[in-house]
Amino acid sequence: MKFSNGCWLQKEGCACFSPAQVYFTKVEEDCVTLCAPTSRITSRGATLGGVNLTIKISAPYPEVLRVQTYHYMGVQKKAPEFELTAMQTGLMKAEDSEEVIKVSNGTLRVEVNKSDGKITFFRGEEKLTSSGAKDLAYMKTDWKGDAYNLRTDDAYMREQLTLGVGELIYGLGERFSAFVKNGQTVDIWNEDGGTSTEQSYKNIPFFMSNKGYGVFVNHPEKVSFEVASEMVHKVGFTVAGESLDYFLINGPTMKDVLVRYTDITGKPSLPAPWTFGLWLSTSFTTNYDEETVMSFVNGMIDRGIPLSVFHFDCFWMKDFSWCDFTWDSRVFPDPEGLIKRLHDKGLKVCVWINSYIGQESSLFAEGAEKGYFLKRANGDVWQWDMWQPGLAIVDFTNPEACKWYASKLEALMDMGVDCFKTDFGERIPTDCVYFDGSDPQKMHNYYTYLYNKCVFDVIKKKKGEKEAILFARSATVGGQKFPVHWGGDCWSDYESMEESLRGGLSLTSSGFGYWSHDIGGFEATSTPDVYKRWCAFGLLSSHSRLHGSTSYRVPWAYDEEAVDVVRFFAELKASLMPYLYRNAVETSKTGIPMMRSMVLEFPEDRNVSYLATQYMLGDSLLTAPIFNEDSMANYYLPEGRWTNYLTGEEREGGRWYTEKHGYLSIPLYVKEGSIVAVGAENKKAVYDYADNVTFRVYALADGKTANTVVYDTEANPAASVTVDRKGDTYTISVESSKPCKVVLINVGGENKTIEFTGSDKVVVNC
C-alpha cells in the first residue's frame, strides 16, 4: 500500500507517525520493550499527548528476532492466528546503554538508536537491513490534524526495510509475475485468478533476500508489500489496524532461512512414494463414465505407460449437486466395484472435492439447519451464485461442521477412495459471520488452512500419517504441512508453461516443499508440440498430473509420438525414485524444497539471480524445460563440470548453451561431485529402492568425498555409499543388505562399474 508522495511528502490526507526517539526501555528476561514517541519529548508537558508507539523485541527461535509494534495495545485480539511452533526462552541477550539498546540472538543482532529510533539488523558485523525515519510508522489515511479523532478505520501499521545495492527479493507465495519481486506491489490476498495475472491462489507473507535473511509478517489478513516499488531502496509492508508483528530470520544462506522459517511455521509432510508416480485425470468438464475411465487406464497400461493414480474430477458427482459426495449413478452405477477394479490394476484413487455446498445438494438443508455454513450478519446463510447456484460455504471454525464434513469423506474412504483434490478455498467472503467469531478479514486467507487441515486429518485418521496426501490449490502460511499443491488454472501454451514454472519456484521459495502443475495446460487444448514439451517438464517435477478443462489429456489424444514421450519420461522418473525419494525425505526434515530455484542452489552466481526458466530437481539434477516450437533449449550451467544425464556428455559450466532437442530429450545435467541413485525398476513408482540400485558417481574432483543414502518406502535408510577420491584412486564404501552397483561416470573416458553383493569396501585405481 502506497502512502507517500515522493521522498518528502505524504499523499493528501495521509499522516505518518514514526518513532522520533526511544524515551525509555524496559528489559526483561525474554523481551525488551521500547517507549517510542513519534515527536520529540522536549519537556514534561510533551508527554501529555500525541501518538506513541510501543515496540517489543524478542528472540522466540534461534537466529530469529521478533519485532511487535503497537499504537493501541487495548484493541481486542481476534482469531485466527497462524499456528506457529512453540516459542523458546533463554535465547535473548540485551545490552542497554545511554545511546543504543542491542538485542542479540546467536549471530543475529538488532540495534535501536535511542536518539532517533532507527532500527538496524546485523549478522555479526554485517549490516542486513534497517528501518529509519518514517519507515516503521502508524499511518492515517484520512487525517485532518484532529488529535481527538477516534476513527480507527483509516489506520495502518507500516514497516519499510532498506535494500542494499544488488539486493533481490524472492518468495511471497506462488506468484506468476517476475520471479524477482523487486519493483512489484504484492497484496497477500488469496484469489482465483488463474496463472496469467498478478493474483495468486497461495499468498504467503514471507520473503527472502539474496543477502541471506528472511522476513515473515505474522498476519493472516491482507498484508500489502511494496518491494522497491514505492521507495525503490526499501521493502515496505502494511497491515490495517493498530499493530504490526514481524520476524526477521537469519541465514546466513537462503537455504538456512527456509530451514528456520519452516521450523517456525511447520515442515512439509512427507508424501508417500506412490504419489510421485503419474496421476491421470478425467479432466474438468468432459463427459465421462466408467467405460471412459477404464479405456484411459487400459490405454495407458496397453501402451506401457507407468500410472500411479487415477483422479475423478468434478463430475463424479451429479451436476448441480456439488458437493453432496455421492457418485452420479447415471454414469457410475457401481462406484465401489470401479474403485476395486482400479485398485486391482495397482492404482490409487483420488476424487475432487471443495468446501462449497450448492443449494441443490442433498446436504444443503442439513448444513443450513445445523448451522454448519458461513452466515450473514442477519443470521441468513451466506450464499451466492458463482461456481454453483446458491452455494453455501462450510464453516470450519465450527467443530461440529468439521466432524460433519469429515464424516462424508470418511464414507468415501470406506468405499476405497485414497485421497482428495481439495479445489478452491480462495473466494471466501469478508461480509460474513463465523461460528467462533473469527474476524472475516483474517479468515479470508486463513480459511484454506482450516479446510485443507480438516481433509488432511481425515486421511491421516483413515490411512495413517504416511499415506496422507492432498492435491490442493489454495494455501496460506503453514499450508506446506498438507502437500501437495498444484499451480492452478493455466492456459495451454508456452507462455503459461513458463509462468507456471515461475509460480512454482516462487512457492518453493516460500516454504513449500513439493509442487505440481497441469501437464499440457488447463484451459483450451495445447498443440501436440506444447503437450510433449510440457510432459517432459511435468514428469521432471516433484509431482506429475495430466489434467485439463474441456478435453482429455491422455497422450494418444494428441498423436502417437506423444505416447512415446509420456512413456519415456514416466519411466525415467520411476527409475529416479531412489534419488527423488531421498530428496523428498530430506525436504520433510529441512524444509528445503525438492524443486528449487537456481539462486537457492547457487546464491553466489550472479548469472542465476533472475533465472526462472530452469531449476534444480533435488540437489543434483539441473532441469531446463524447452519453451518454444523451434525445439531450441536455452540454459545456463553454473561453474563446474556438468554431465548430461541422458547422454553422458560432459560440459564445462559458467556459460550459456543453446541447442536443438528432440521430444525424447531435455537438458538434464548432473552437478559435479554428485552421486545419483538409480533404481532397477522403471515401470512403477513403488518398489525396493535399495535392491540392485545403481549409484552413479559424477565428476568427483581429486581430494573430494561424496556420499548418498537410499531410503526404503517407509523412509528408513536402506543403503548408502561413500566415495573418496585421491588422484586416480577411488575408495568406495557400501552399506547395504542388497546387491548394488557403483558406476564411476566418465573416468578415463569410460564408465567403470563395480558390483557389490552387500556391505563392502573396495579401492579402485583408474
- Is 348 buried (19+), middle (13-18) or exposed (0-12) by CB count in 10 A? buried
The closest of 740, 449, 711, 350 to 723, measured between CA atoms, is: 740
pLDDT at 152: 82
pLDDT in tens, 397-447: 999 999 999 999 999 999 999 999 999 999 999 999 999 999 999 999 999
In a shared domain, residues 569 and 692: no
In a shared domain, residues 109 and 239: yes
Question: What whole-number percentage of the chain has pLDDT above 90?
Answer: 98
Distance of CA 125 to the CA centre of its chain: 32
| Domain membership flag for residue 745 | yes
pLDDT surpasses 70 at 207 = yes
pLDDT at 365: 98
Last residue of a domain, one of 229, 247, 265: 247
| Domain membership flag for residue 672 | no
pLDDT at 606: 96
Residue 487 to residue 105: CA distance in whole angstroms: 37
In a shared domain, residues 234 and 291: no
For residue 766, give the C-alpha cell.
Answer: 583408474
pLDDT at 145: 83
For residue 430, give the C-alpha cell.
Answer: 469478508
* For residues 275-282, average pLDDT: 98
Strand (E) positions, 478-591?
Answer: 485-486, 515-516, 518-519, 544-546
CB 689 within 8 A of CB 707: no
Domain count, the chain: 3
CATH number at residue 751: 2.60.40.1180
pLDDT surpasses 80 at 564 = yes
| Domain membership flag for residue 674 | no
pLDDT in tens, 141-179: 999 887 666 678 899 999 999 999 999 999 999 999 999
In a shared domain, residues 138 and 228: yes
For residue 513, give the C-alpha cell.
Answer: 516443499
In a shared domain, residues 243 and 282: no
CB 531 within 8 A of CB 503: no
Residue 508 to residue 515: CA distance in whole angstroms: 8
Residue 359 to residue 381: CA distance in whole angstroms: 11
| Domain membership flag for residue 532 | yes
Strand (E) positions, 252-368?
Answer: 278-281, 309-312, 348-353, 356-357
| Domain membership flag for residue 261 | no
Last residue of a domain, one of 530, 558, 590: 590
| Domain membership flag for residue 112 | yes
Look-up: residue for cell 454453483? 388
| Domain membership flag for residue 67 | yes
In a shared domain, residues 371 and 311: yes
CB 675 within 8 A of CB 621: no
In a shared domain, residues 555 and 503: yes
- Which residue segment(s) compose the domain that 562 sits in? 273-590
The closest of 552, 558, 557, 556 to 285, measured between CA atoms, is: 552
Q: Pairing mode, if any, of strands 621-623 and 668-671?
A: antiparallel
Alpha-carbon distances of 467 from 24, 165, 348, rounded to whole Å: 54, 47, 11
Tell me which residues are annotated as active site. 423, 426, 489
pLDDT in tens, 708-741: 999 999 999 999 999 999 999 999 999 999 999 9
pLDDT in tens, 30-40: 999 999 999 99
Look-up: residue for cell 488463474? 194
Alpha-carbon distances of 544 from 97, 135, 516, 613, 704, rounded to whole Å: 58, 44, 6, 18, 35
Q: Pairing mode, if any, of strands 693-698 and 740-747?
A: parallel
In a shared domain, residues 224 and 280: no
Residue 244 to residue 19: CA distance in whole angstroms: 14
* For residues 121-127, average pLDDT: 98
**pLDDT-based confidence at 574, cuts 50/70/90?**
very high
**pLDDT-based confidence at 313, cuts 50/70/90?**
very high
In a shared domain, residues 219 and 280: no
Residue 606 to residue 167: CA distance in whole angstroms: 11
CB 675 within 8 A of CB 633: no
* For residues 615-623, average pLDDT: 98
In a shared domain, residues 219 and 321: no
Last residue of a domain, one of 590, 613, 634: 590
CB 512 within 8 A of CB 479: yes
pLDDT in tens, 1-17: 999 999 999 999 999 99
In a shared domain, residues 307 and 237: no
CB 444 within 8 A of CB 190: yes
CATH number at residue 425: 3.20.20.80
Distance of CA 412 to the CA centre of its chain: 28
| Domain membership flag for residue 605 | no
The one-character DSSP state at 375 is: B
In a shared domain, residues 224 and 289: no
pLDDT at 191: 98
Tell me the DSSP string of 199-228.
--SBEEEEEEETTTEEEEE--SS-EEEEES
pLDDT at 148: 67
Look-up: residue for cell 476424487? 351
- Is 253 buried (19+), middle (13-18) or exposed (0-12) by CB count in 10 A? middle
For residue 42, give the C-alpha cell.
Answer: 522536549
CB 518 within 8 A of CB 607: no
For residue 717, give the C-alpha cell.
Answer: 535408510
Residue 592 to residue 716: CA distance in whole angstroms: 19
CATH number at residue 83: 2.60.40.1760
